[in-house]
Amino acid sequence: MSESARSFGDAGASSSPLPTVADALALGLTREEYELVCAKQARAPNQVELAMYSLLWSEHCAYKHSKKLLRTLPTEGRHVVMGPGENAGAVDVGGGLVCAFKVESHNHPSAVEPFQGAATGVGGILRDIFAIGARPIAVLDSLRFGEVGSAGPADSGAEIGGLSAANTAQRSGASQIRSRYLLGGAVAGIGHYGNSIGVPTVGGEVYFEGPYEHNCLVNAMALGLAPRERLVRSAAAGPGNVLVLFGASTGRDGIGGASVLASAELGEGDDKRPTVQVGDPFEEKKLLECSLELLERRLLVALQDLGAAGLTSSAAEMASKGGVGIDIDVARVPLREPDLEPFEIMVSESQERMLCVVAPEDVEAVLALCEKWEVGGSPIGSITDSGRVRVFAGEALLGDMPVRALVDDCPLYDLAPAAPSAPVYAAPARVLAAGASLHEVLLALLASPNLASRRPLFEHFDSVVQSRTVRRPEQADAAVLKLPDGSALGVCIDGNGRRVAADPYRGTIAAVLECASNLACVGAEPLGTTNNLNFANPEKPHIAWQLSEAVRGLGEACRALEAPIVGGNVSLYNEGAAGPIYPTPVIGMVGRLPDAARAGRLGFAAEGDTIALIGPFVPSLPASELAKLRGQELPARLPDIDIDAVRCAQFAVRGALRAGALSSAHDIAEGGLAVALAECCLAGGLGAEVRLDGTRAGGGEDGDGGGGSREDLFTTLFGEGPGGFLISGTANGVRSLGRRTYVRVIGTVGGDSLRLACGAERVNSSLAEMSTAHGALGLLFS
């Protein structure tokens, strides 16, 4: 031990012996990283320092396996006001306003305790938004769980279309019950937080797939609005300024959440519940109003929320960005329980707390405002010019670290990607008999948990508070929020993990295109993108390959769409004993439409309207929802995607909606053309008469969808792929798109059933029976 360390220990009031390399390993650092810490400190770190390094050098905080890849993504564009690196990104939306937005994951906490995990996930992303001075105006969620079974009691094991199989019914019954528990808990947690704080939940998505059974995904996206000049950054500045902690008191919840929970695989039987935080939306509501009023009165130099790694990461990052030092006195931090150790205070992830930098003369006014909103406020330290983070307990110095070493010197790792030589994922269980008719397949797809109506979930959420919601869930492909000048924002979140698992590069491109297509269907043009990369252990070559390929696709698609990435998050190590999750890049996109009154809707609107299939849609069955129901393995790759052709179709649909030429617009996604038609019928309460002969969709070289084999018929009706839209409108309105993209008139709106003719085959399904099938998820919540 060096001389300096001994004298430090004497001053440090810590009677505990110095931690060893074994302690460092237990906190998630590698031996080499521990040695690097010793080198940076020029001595062995003490307990407080090691705790802080282990968190800031965790995957969750340092992005050490993803940072090099993320640097390849496009982050600049004409609308970007604030890019990655701040609490949230922001784009200009006109009228002097900016929209701040970001998506973040809370996967591992939700797998351990779904209600609090999801609730605090929402709380965390909302704090990111108001930390840059924007008032949160909407939340969206992206959820993944294991199989919940088809409608009816878990473990039914029955197949649709006559075949029966009870091979693994008992095991799948237990796992379905667990997945339903996680779903119910997460949905209730999201609602509990968002509803109580007065921010509408306006959209989201959920998928159920086997690989998520042991590692569910809970991603939450939030948007906020701010006058452009009100945006605040998190860089601390001004030596002599005061560091004020405000909000809830600090407890023992979430100790080590970032390192132990978020940066390692979930093991079977681990008791990690104490690392999950507990949320209090009422506290956050007060914190939100207090923060915004502090900013409005221009009382703050800098503002930062406390998230993963608590005070440690907030203070170190504020100091790093401002190029200053910070002194913190843990004795001045208000505690929820009296016997917290100093290192626990520094790493606690207690929720609903913010850290700000205040000029000395404004401290009194800041504390008075905290009192008005009934949130605790305490000066806990000061800004220095030392370039170091120093932790005190009263007079005693407990930790002393260079800011650079903490924030910038964590080693970054190169991935060693290698395409897998054998399939990574087992084929799903077959639930559809080989001889199922087209009619049976249509109803089975509508009732499939991945495609069924989300209404039973959305009913848990207030989607209208704040009076901006022009399109609620299931009224359109994207949510629409009006702005004061009569324009509106379109926003959506998407990501199909199964297709990314089949082909990480093309699957990710498809996810980005899907988002932009959803925006096009309300008339919105993309302004910017956020993403959450949910992957398994990147130290494994085939996972590293998934991650690299997905990021390559993400960058390419965002560049082509001029929808740069303004912020996001990476969640790695999402795997359990049963294997890795599907690679799941979740894409959130914000766009703008000039006239809120012309926002598109997905439901058919008028009897007699012409229905047309738009765009370069080339459906295929591999990796589709139908392939899943049939128990088919994932293909080795997906068909090539012509991004420009899809973009042209989006342009055409968007333009026609903005011109007021269409009654409805809907992007063709999971379940293909037939399911999209059913969705348009159900949303509008109107039937349709559709002939697919001669359409391009699914046809062979002769373009005759009905002329090929029976399998061609399934491809035409249920095949999936990017670039397809279903629109309806007057004949003239529909014709107006023809100059810009492929347009095939396929039918007419009317009646109370969907009547599909495809070659010699006929499908006739009443609105009532389709509605019953589509309502399958309701049984999970009754």
Partner 1 sequence: MRFGVLQFPGSCDEVDALHAARLVGDAELLWHGERDLKGVAAVIVPGGFSYGDYLRAGAIARFAPVMEAVSEFASEGGLVLGICNGFQVLCEAHLLPGALLPNANRRFTFRQMQLQVVQRDTCFTSACAPARGGLEGSPTLSIPAKHSWGRYYADEATLDELEANGQVVLRYAPEENFNGSLRDIAGVRNAAGNVFGLMPHPEHAVDPLTGSTDGLCIFASMCLAVEGARV
Are 401 and 388 contacting, i.e. CB atoms less than 8 angstroms apart?
yes
When asked if residue 281 is in the footprint of partner 1 (CB under 8 A), the reply is yes
CB 188 to partner 1: min, Å: 7
**Choices 302-310, 315-323, 460-468, 671-679 (CB under 8 A): range interacting with partner 1:** 460-468
214 has catalytic annotation: no
Q: How far is the CB of 193 from partner 1 (least distance, A)?
A: 11
CB of 192 to partner 1, least distance (A): 8
Among 222, 359, 346, 357, residue whose Cα is nearest residue 284: 222
The verdict on 102 binding partner 1 (CB under 8 A) reads: no
* Residues 188-217 contacting partner 1, CB under 8 A: 188, 191-192, 195-198
Binding mask 574-603 for partner 1 (x = CB under 8 A): ----------------------xx------
Q: Does residue 467 interact with partner 1 by CB under 8 A?
A: yes
Task: Say whether residue 780 binds partner 1 (CB under 8 A).
Answer: no
- If the CB atoms of residues 85 and 685 are measured against partner 1, the closer one turns out to be 685
Q: Which three-class secondary structure state does DSSP give residue 86?
A: strand
CB 322 within 8 A of CB 232: no
Query: Burial level of 602, CB count in 10 A (0-12/13-18/19+)?
Result: buried
Asked whether position 296 contacts partner 1 by CB under 8 A, the answer is no
In whole angstroms, what is the distance from residue 128 CA to residue 82 CA?
Answer: 13
Q: How far apart are CA 17 and CA 37, in angstroms?
A: 17
Q: Does 280 bind partner 1 (CB under 8 A)?
A: yes
Please say which residue, 351 or 741, places its beta carbon nearer to partner 1.
Answer: 351
**Pairing status of strand 525-534 against strand 565-571:** parallel
Q: Which of 65, 106, 542, 774 is catalytic?
A: 106
Confirm or reject binding of residue 352 to partner 1 (CB under 8 A).
Answer: no
Answer for which of 76, 364, 408, 459 binds partner 1 (CB under 8 A) is 459
Q: Least Å distance between CB 225 and partner 1? A: 13
The pair of structure tokens assigned to 680 is: 């348009």
Q: Is 79 a catalytic residue?
A: no
Q: Whole-number minimum distance, CB 527 to partner 1, in Å?
A: 21
Quick check: 101 binds partner 1 (CB under 8 A)?
no
Size of the site for partner 1 (CB under 8 A): 34
Q: Are 727 and 741 in contact (CB under 8 A)?
A: no
Question: Can you read off the two tokens belonging to residue 216?
Answer: 């569910």
As measured in angstroms, the least distance from the Cβ of 597 to partner 1 is 6
Phi-psi bin for 569: left (phi > 0), alpha (psi -120 to 50), beta?
beta
Closest CA to 511 of 548, 554, 572: 554
480-519 binders of partner 1 (CB under 8 A): 482
d(CA 703, CA 319): 63
CA distance 633 to 625: 12
Interaction of residue 779 with partner 1, rule CB under 8 A: no
Asked if residue 466 binds partner 1 (CB under 8 A), the reply is yes
- 180 makes contact with partner 1 (CB under 8 A): no
Is 434 buried (19+), middle (13-18) or exposed (0-12) by CB count in 10 A?
exposed
Q: Does 469 bind partner 1 (CB under 8 A)?
A: yes
Contact flag: residue 94 with partner 1 (CB under 8 A): no
Which listed range, 50-58, 452-460, 526-534, 763-771, lies at the site for partner 1 (CB under 8 A)?
Answer: 452-460
Helix, strand, coil shares of the chain as percentages rounded to 5?
A: 35, 25, 40
Q: Which residues make Cβ contacts (< 8 Å) with residue 45, sequence separation at least 6?
A: 18, 19, 37, 38, 53, 401
Q: Which residue among 65, 102, 127, 285 contacts partner 1 (CB under 8 A)? A: 285
Inter-axis angle of helices 169-197 and 281-296, nearest 10: 40
156: number of Cβ within 10 Å: 16
- Taking the least distance from each CB to partner 1, the nearer of 52 and 202 is 202
Residues labelled as active-site residues: 60, 106
Q: Which residues bind partner 1 (CB under 8 A)?
A: 188, 191-192, 195-198, 280-283, 285-286, 289, 373-374, 458-470, 472, 482, 596-597, 781
